[in-house]
């Protein structure tokens, strides 16, 4: 993909489909130490370091974790015995000093088939699922068409079950069964309890979605907001692997946000923070799909643009047209010189800039990643949008946060969900309770 707008003042947007950190480093998972209060046991730290590097020697582990060589030998022997790590000869890159006195060079890597997990993204256009092994390697995937109607709990649970079966069929016979499923969906999702306080896909508020899925699938299930899943995809597989603080803002049917602080996903005290789309930008403003007025997404999301499409397009041309096709037509009209259509996107871009500058002032991220299907509409990150952010942000004489456009496909959201499942499974196997 080509770079988009040139730099404007302090902020610019760069379009990217291959984040640099992911291009140069094998493995999966965060590569920098977490800044949280809880520190995993050393055994887990060793395992996670090897998984993040892809391949690592014992001397590398010693230097990276600051522990003795004897301790590394003891811990890696335990992980090998558990079937989680394995030795490989002649590793593909320099991995330390083994072999310096004639011994064949060896290194360690995660045993891929030590476990498998499944991640799911539910949306109004398509449901997606990805199966990965314990090394983060994709083993199967599935997609199913969706729509925007609200379901009852049983109906959505059954859609997930069918998607799981399709992904398992795609993966084929496996030496190990699935051990966990993670599901991301739009809305207010209580991560710890697995309750969905509100979602555009569920007719019931406060739905016990986790419990319903676990009863249907017979597996542990972990729920989260879909923007958090995409943020985990960046943290485990993308540009965020080498960042300690970054934000991901998604623009699709709604506006979502995920935030990493101290190399860890931040959810807030109750697990439902970072609802950028429902921050208020206009008192008594436009009606949001959450039922309240003046939310950011009521000016930027799909339904906000569609609400005004009839004013810019020919009379009758919006009748019985699929939302995605109608948005594309609106964008084409804007590019062709239709000033009313262009004004709709430009207005959305200005409101987006307001939301982004608030993110900058509140969290001071190193990078803001814009993602989601609607980022193909370049009005949302045009020069004027970046200039507006710069004009509204405090000038503290420091290098500003960088804004990047990441053109991910549908499956990356589900892959981010596998990162959540892998993280929880790693804690279960190697955390304090397993010591």
Task: Say how many domains are in the chain.
Answer: 3
Tell whether 392 and 261 lie within a shared domain.
yes
- Compute the average pLDDT of residues 229-242: 93
In this prediction, residue 327 has a pLDDT band, given cuts at 50, 70 and 90, of confident
Tell whether 251 and 203 lie within a shared domain.
no
Tell whether 325 and 430 lie within a shared domain.
no
Looking at residue 60, which CATH number applies to its domain?
Answer: 1.10.10.10
Tell whether 374 and 399 lie within a shared domain.
yes
Looking at residue 205, which CATH number applies to its domain?
Answer: 3.30.420.40
Tell whether 225 and 147 lie within a shared domain.
yes
Instruction: Supply the pLDDT for residue 98.
Output: 47
**In this predicted model, what pLDDT tens digit does every residue of 255-303 receive, in sequence order?**
999 999 988 999 988 777 898 999 999 999 999 988 899 999 999 988 8
5: in domain: no
Tell whether 83 and 164 lie within a shared domain.
no
**Is residue 211 predicted with pLDDT exceeding 70?**
yes
Question: Which residues, including other chains, have CB under 8 Å from residue 123's CB and lie 6 or more apart?
Answer: 146, 185, 186, 226, 252, 253, 410, 413
Tell whether 310 and 377 lie within a shared domain.
yes
Average pLDDT, the chain: 86
**Is residue 129 predicted with pLDDT exceeding 90?**
yes
- Residue whose C-alpha is closest to residue 187's, from 200, 169, 203: 200
237: in domain: no
pTM over the 0.85 mark? yes
Tell whether 167 and 272 lie within a shared domain.
no
Instruction: Supply the pLDDT for residue 316.
Output: 67
- Compute the average pLDDT of residues 172-191: 94
Examine the fold and report which residue of 63, 84, 113 is the final residue of a domain before the chain moves on: 113
Tell whether 157 and 215 lie within a shared domain.
yes
161: domain range? 115-232+412-434
Tell whether 260 and 390 lie within a shared domain.
yes
Tell whether 327 and 202 lie within a shared domain.
no
Rounded to 5°, the CA angle 371-167-428 comes to 80
Tell whether 155 and 249 lie within a shared domain.
no
When mean pLDDT is compared across 91-95, 321-325, 339-343, 345-349, the lowest value belongs to: 91-95
In this prediction, residue 13 has a pLDDT band, given cuts at 50, 70 and 90, of low
């Amino acid at each position: 993909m080509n770079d988009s707008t040139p730099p404007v003042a302090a902020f610019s947007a760069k379009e990217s489909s291959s984040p640099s950190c992911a291009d140069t480093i094998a493995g999966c998972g965060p590569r920098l130490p977490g800044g949280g209060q809880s520190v995993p046991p050393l055994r887990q730290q060793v395992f996670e370091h090897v998984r993040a590097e892809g391949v690592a020697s014992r001397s590398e582990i010693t230097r990276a974790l600051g522990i003795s060589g004897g301790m590394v030998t003891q811990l890696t022997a335990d992980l090998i015995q558990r079937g989680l790590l394995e030795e490989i000869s002649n590793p593909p890159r320099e991995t330390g000093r083994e072999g310096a006195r004639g011994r064949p060079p060896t290194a360690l890597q995660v045993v891929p088939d030590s476990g498998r997990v499944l991640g799911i993204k539910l949306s109004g256009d398509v449901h997606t699922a990805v199966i990965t092994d314990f090394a983060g390697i994709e083993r199967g995937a599935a997609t199913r068409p969706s729509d925007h109607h609200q379901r009852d709990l049983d109906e959505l649970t059954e859609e997930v079950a069918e998607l799981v079966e399709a992904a398992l069929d795609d993966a084929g016979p496996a030496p190990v069964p699935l051990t966990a499923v993670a599901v991301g969906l739009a809305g207010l999702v209580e991560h710890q309890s697995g309750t969905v306080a509100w979602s555009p896909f569920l007719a019931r508020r406060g739905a016990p979605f986790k419990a319903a899925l676990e009863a249907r699938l017979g597996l542990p299930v972990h729920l989260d907001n879909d923007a958090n899943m995409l943020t985990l995809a960046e943290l485990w597989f993308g540009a965020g692997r080498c960042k300690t603080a970054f934000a991901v803002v998604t623009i699709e049917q709604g506006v979502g946000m995920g935030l990493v602080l101290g190399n860890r996903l931040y959810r807030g005290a109750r697990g439902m923070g970072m609802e950028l789309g429902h921050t208020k930008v206009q008192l008594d403003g436009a009606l949001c799909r959450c039922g309240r007025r003046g939310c950011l997404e009521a000016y930027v999301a799909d339904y906000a643009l569609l609400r005004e499409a009839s004013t810019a397009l020919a009379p009758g041309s919006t009748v019985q047209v699929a939302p995605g096709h109608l948005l594309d037509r609106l964008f084409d009209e804007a590019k062709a010189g239709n000033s009313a259509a262009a004004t709709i996107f430009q207005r959305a871009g200005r409101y987006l800039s307001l939301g982004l500058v608030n993110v900058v002032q509140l969290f001071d991220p190193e990078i803001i990643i814009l993602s989601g299907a609607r980022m193909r509409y370049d009005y949302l990150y045009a020069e004027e949008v970046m200039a507006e952010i710069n004009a509204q942000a405090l000038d503290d004489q420091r290098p500003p946060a960088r804004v990047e456009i990441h053109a991910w496909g549908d499956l990356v959201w589900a892959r981010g969900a596998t990162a959540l499942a892998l993280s929880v499974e790693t804690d279960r196997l190697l955390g304090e309770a397993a010591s």
